[in-house]
Chains A and B, each alone.
Chain A
Amino acid sequence: GAVVSQHPSWVICKSGTSVKIECRSLDFQATTMFWYRQFPKQSLMLMATSNEGSKATYEQGVEKDKFLINHASLTLSTLTVTSAHPEDSSFYICSAKGQGGYTFGSGTRLTVV
């Protein structure tokens, strides 16, 4: 079946630094990739939608200068959290959409100290 690999699975970083999260579709080409954020005991909130070779579309209230998304190929999208602060600590999940539907990565636990 379709597999999406997300790395790293967890990361701890210092306040003010940047963190990059990768999302790869391993055995299919993803026309669209999505980035979600999930706070403890809450649902997944869509942050942005990215299509290969074009700028990401951000949901209302999501700072595009803080959450940089690059979708350089049909199999790779990256989310960079710039100048991270403790309030950015969260669980980030990517999803790739292919012909078979949506496939989710295993998530990245980001802790900013």
Chain B
Amino acid sequence: SQQGEEDPQALSIQEGENATMNCSYKTSINNLQWYRQNSGRGLVHLILIRSNEREKHSGRLRVTLDTSKKSSSLLITASRAADTASYFCATDGANSKLTFGKGITLSVRP
């Protein structure tokens, strides 16, 4: 079963703009993770935020977590064409396994 629901499902922006993706989930979590997947390839781990954290940064990435609303957002600043990919949020809960959302397709136009 899927836990996370990302929105929007598809996002197209111009290079240099910021991209914001949102994820909502249903059950309690230990942490929430964001992954990137280039077409037909494996997953690349981007960032992990624990349930007791509210915000985290890594390079051009900023992730927030609101456990009261069961939601998270991923912000990619100053986007590049190479950021074009699918992005997934995944929750790690009491059952100790990752459950993925449906994913967001990001297209960054050069």
A residues near B (Cβ < 8 Å) are: 6, 32, 34, 36, 41-46, 49, 59-60, 91, 93, 95, 97, 101-107, 109
Quick check: is B75 within 8 A (CB to CB) of the other chain? no
B102 touches A43 (CB 8 A): yes
Give bound CA distance, A49 to B41, whole Å. 21
A107: B residues at CB distance < 8 A: 40-42
Instruction: Give the number of residue pairs across the A-B interface with Cβ within 8 Å.
Output: 50
Nearest CB of B to A70, in Å: 19
8 A-B residue contacts at CB 8 Å?
A34-B98, A42-B103, A44-B100, A45-B2, A93-B43, A101-B48, A104-B42, A105-B42
Chain A residue at smallest Cβ distance from B2: A43
A42 touches B40 (CB 8 A): no
Given contacts A42-B103, A43-B88, 4 further A-B contacts (CB under 8 A): A43-B2, A46-B98, A104-B43, A106-B42
A46: B residues at CB distance < 8 A: 97-100
Nearest CB of B to A79, in Å: 15
Pick from A6, A41, A91, A102: contact of B98, CB below 8 A: A102
B residues near A (Cβ < 8 Å) are: 1-2, 33, 35, 40-43, 45, 48, 88, 92, 96-103, 105
A43 touches B100 (CB 8 A): yes
Give bound CA distance, A44 to B4, whole Å. 11
Give bound CA distance, A43 to B98, whole Å. 12
B42: A residues at CB distance < 8 A: 6, 93, 104-107
A103: B residues at CB distance < 8 A: 45
Give bound CA distance, A37 to B45, whole Å. 18
Give bound CA distance, A84 to B66, whole Å. 43
B103: A residues at CB distance < 8 A: 42-43
Give bound CA distance, A95 to B48, whole Å. 16
Give bound CA distance, A49 to B97, whole Å. 8
Give bound CA distance, A105 to B41, whole Å. 9
B40 touches A95 (CB 8 A): no
A32 touches B96 (CB 8 A): yes
